[in-house]
Structure 1
Amino acid sequence: MNAQPDVVIDERLLPPTLSRLRRILRAIGPRKTIALLKARGGTRLKLMHGPLLHGLLGEPSTKLLLDAFPDESEILLPKADKLIAQIRNRVIVAEAGAKSLTEQALEHDLTTRQIINIRHAPEPETGLSPQPDLFDGD
């Protein structure tokens, strides 16, 4: 099994419903966002200076995060593994024309069947399935 590479989040790949996550990304960057989501994803996070946020992000990034949410005392953080899978799936679909099934399967540590299913899954926002490719394969 391949080790998972560091995840770098491209904001353009995020579902539109994750506007708060976009604000977090802009404030503290992708690496600290992923660290925050891995540590606290799926929970409510109180937005205040203190040992929890300082320990996770450091004092400068904590200040940037708090400045990004001036009128909120807490936020709900999405679960990291689900978010990472959503982003991975969007990357797979976006690169479908440029990479073979095998290349994508090896790159993402998935089977070619999983890649086919991801490529042909309905878009979450629209519910529409992409047009099937008759020559989808290696």
Structure 2
Amino acid sequence: MAKLHEKVSNQRKDFLHKRSRQITNAYDGVCIEDLDMKAMSRSLNLGKSVSDNGWGMFTIFLKYKLEEQGKKLMKVGRFFVSSQTCSVCGYKNVKTKNLALREWDCPQCGNHHDRDVNAAINIRNGGMRLVNA
């Protein structure tokens, strides 16, 4: 059983190293959300899936690979409401706190958003503001 666990661990590390290298080679800067993975793993709905994903290890690999090449990793604060804020007009939609809501229309500007794409745009923009500050 221990050999199987070691194999899975090595496969995960290999995948994370390859993916972080691919991202590092493609971009001069990477913006991520500074997630509280411990709190997310305690969540009733996310528990095991969050603790098994290797996010912390991935961010460590990504950070040192970017730094080796003189590139930057920008972390947007965990309380930044990336999925709730309209990436077009900045309206904060508190109704999108519900994780089951995958798409929404901004009541202020009318733009239609995919929750994850909108959050990614907001995280990128927030990270770029950190660089330019």
Give TM-score, length-normalised by structure 2.
Answer: 0.25
Taking structure 1 as the reference length, the TM-score comes to 0.24
